[in-house]
Structure 1
Amino acid sequence: MRSPHQFNIHHEIEQHSIFRLFPPRAREALIAAAFIKHYRRGQKVMDANEDPPHLIIVLTGIIFVELAYPDGRKLTSPTWDQHGDMLALIQIFTGTPIPWDFVARTQTSLILIPKQVILNILAKLPQLMAPFMNVLCERLHGMAVQNSHALIQRPRERLIHLLLNLAERYGSITAEGTLIDLRISQDEMSFMLSLSRQSINKELKGLSEQGLIQHAYGTITILQIEALKTLVQKIPYPLMQQSGLGKSTPLLQAAGIEIPVLPQAFNP
């Protein structure tokens, strides 16, 4: 993984799956207005009820959404965003505040592009809305697929799918297995999976007794990831594919937008 200080705004925007579709002068305007900001673990990226002033592009790090209740409960979930993915996209276009906090769960680096710069470009070139709408449609479809599978999955299957996706997205290989070091509590997992904390505790204990995982102090190590995969039919989280416009779609075709081929040397 590259160091946060090795990222270059010009390169990131020129090669971004959406912004590379913009004409050169529009990309130059984005590059001139954009800046990189670094966040420490636990630092807020954006406050709930804030009207986001910037479109956010993830460079490195892991971001969670947090929703605080008056009784003191705090519900959290990962955004599943990776390098190149965008945050607060809906709020940028609707002018509505975000309903939760965005919080850096690890050291995080982001590109911030002033909202008004984006909106000014789209006002002059409305056909460029199509790639953004394409991404939003993919996210909506992904959430629908996720929810439909959750309706028919048993608690253990839901938990295993979550662990496998966390491992694929955020895991690191150690001598013991695949470490998920996100400090995720059982309360947080119960919120992510719409299960009771008691169910989460029961299933984690069962997987531990089978020698498949090890969990302590908010970290989980998958000891036998291939064995864990055999217990369920793998269903990836489709909403992970948030910034990829690798192929044309009817929406992009209707807007007359072609997907350019990146140089073979480009490695996102």
Structure 2
Amino acid sequence: MSDSAACLQRISSGRWFQSLPTELRDALGRSAQVRRLPAGQRLFARGDAPCGLYCVVEGRMRVGAVAASGKEALLALVEAPNWFGEISLFDGQPRTHDAFAEKPTTLLQVPMGALQSLLARHPEYWRDFALLMSHKLRMAFAMLEEQALLPAAPRLARRLLMLAGGYGAGDACQRSLQLPQEQLAAMLALSRQTTNHILKELEARGILRLSYGGIEILDYPGLCDAAQAGD
């Protein structure tokens, strides 16, 4: 089995990829290239030209924006089997954010030229890529609403649930999240102190167990209840 075929097999359980027509899955597989990034390496920067569609096979990508001052706005942590980079496929415009490897990361890349050629031959596949983008747009709207309307505690609980569910990319729920509190605070635009206080309260209730750089979900229904507290 080739390297790319092995990677495709590993991401085959992803909800979006699994839902594709067999012909489209095969076409993406034929065009896919394996990329391996060491921790901290940038894949692309805001303003870069479009370079195709990516899927995380192993590891994790950090997507956000870095100001001239060095302050970072963390938007998402992308793990397997999530795909990303589809916005530029639709509008042909430069990348909207920076993407860095959070840890040693293996990616599949389908280059822009291969995607454009495929879609020129099969315009019916545009809908499948639109569904990938619309799923993320729904999540973005939900997070904006939570940011505006919810107190910090239920907003944090909802983000943990979203991360545990892999942003809806698969059906499995991760009980153990490798997520430093500083990153969670950055994703929610909360202070480190506020984030720690909320997490400690959830730990005291037996919902979570905190460790260095990690959060373990002990009581999933309890975390769901905590996420609804602001409704």
Contact 2:63 2:78 in 1 (8 A): no
Give SS of 1:138's match.
helix
* Post-superposition offset of 1:32: 4.4
Tell me the residue number matched to 1:20: 22
Matched letter for residue 37 of structure 1: R
What do you get for the CA RMSD once the two structures are aligned?
Answer: 3.5
Contact 2:62 2:100 in 1 (8 A): yes
Give SS of 1:230's match.
helix
Q: Deviations over 1:31-60 (max 9, x none)?
A: 444221222333323233221323212323
For structure 1, the 5+ residue unaligned runs are 235-268
Contact 2:44 2:100 in 1 (8 A): yes
* Post-superposition offset of 1:154: 1.6
Tell me the residue number matched to 1:59: 57
Give TM-score, length-normalised by structure 2: 0.75
Contact 1:62 1:78 in 2 (8 A): no
Equivalent residues in 2 for 1:24-103, closer than 5 Å: 27=27, 30-83=28-81, 85-103=82-100
Q: Deviations over 1:118-169 (max 9, x none)?
A: 1122223323212212322232223223332443322111111222333343
Give TM-score, length-normalised by structure 1: 0.66
In structure 2, how many angstroms separate the alpha carbons of the residues matched to 1:120 and 1:222?
44
Tell me the residue number matched to 1:7: 6
In structure 2, how many angstroms separate the alpha carbons of the residues matched to 1:63 and 1:9?
18
Q: Does 1:221 align with 2:216?
A: yes
Tell me the residue number matched to 2:198: 203
Give SS of 1:195's match.
coil
Contact 1:34 1:114 in 2 (8 A): yes
Q: Deviations over 1:244-266 (max 9, x none)?
A: xxxxxxxxxxxxxxxxxxxxxxx
For structure 2, the 5+ residue unaligned runs are none
Tell me the residue number matched to 2:128: 131
Contact 2:52 2:115 in 1 (8 A): no
Q: Whose helix proportion is higher, 1 or 2?
A: 2
Contact 1:42 1:105 in 2 (8 A): yes
Tell me the residue number matched to 1:192: 187
Q: Percent identity?
A: 23
Give SS of 2:227's match.
coil
In structure 2, how many angstroms separate the alpha carbons of the residues matched to 1:145 and 1:77?
13
Tell me the residue number matched to 1:252: none
Tell me the residue number matched to 2:105: 108
Tell me the residue number matched to 1:148: 145
* Post-superposition offset of 1:19: 5.8
Give SS of 2:57's match.
strand
* Post-superposition offset of 1:95: 2.0
* Post-superposition offset of 1:96: 1.7
In structure 1, how many angstroms separate the alpha carbons of the residues matched to 2:173 and 2:103?
14
Contact 1:18 1:132 in 2 (8 A): no
* Post-superposition offset of 1:207: 2.7
In structure 2, how many angstroms separate the alpha carbons of the residues matched to 1:34 and 1:22?
12
